[in-house]
Amino acid sequence: MVEKHQIEGLETGYSVEFSDRLGKTITVVTIDENSLRFPTPLRTRVKLINHAGV
């Protein structure tokens, strides 16, 4: 689930809730809009950048 947060005078942000198959919340991540980027033809998918053991 993604929720958009807009508060006058502050930067727009988003909260993303990650759940398991049973619907139990695993974690919630909040990120500011300026940290998001659109996919490009050369960068079309998500990459795992913080993986234990890497």
Q: Considering the chain, what percentage of its residues have pLDDT values greater than 70?
A: 83
pLDDT of 47 above 70: no
Give me the pLDDT at residue 39, please: 77
With vertex at residue 24, the alpha carbon angle to CA 14 and CA 2, rounded to the nearest 5 degrees, is: 15
Q: What pTM was computed for the model? A: 0.59
Q: Calculate the CA 6 to chain-centre distance.
A: 16
Query: Measured in Å, how far apart are the chain's first and last C-alpha atoms?
Result: 28
Give me the pLDDT at residue 44, please: 73
pLDDT of 6 above 90: yes
Q: What is the pLDDT of residues 7-22, one digit of tens each?
A: 999 999 999 999 999 9
Q: Calculate the CA 10 to chain-centre distance.
A: 18
Give me the pLDDT at residue 43, please: 76
The structural domains of the chain, with segments of one domain joined by +, span 1-53
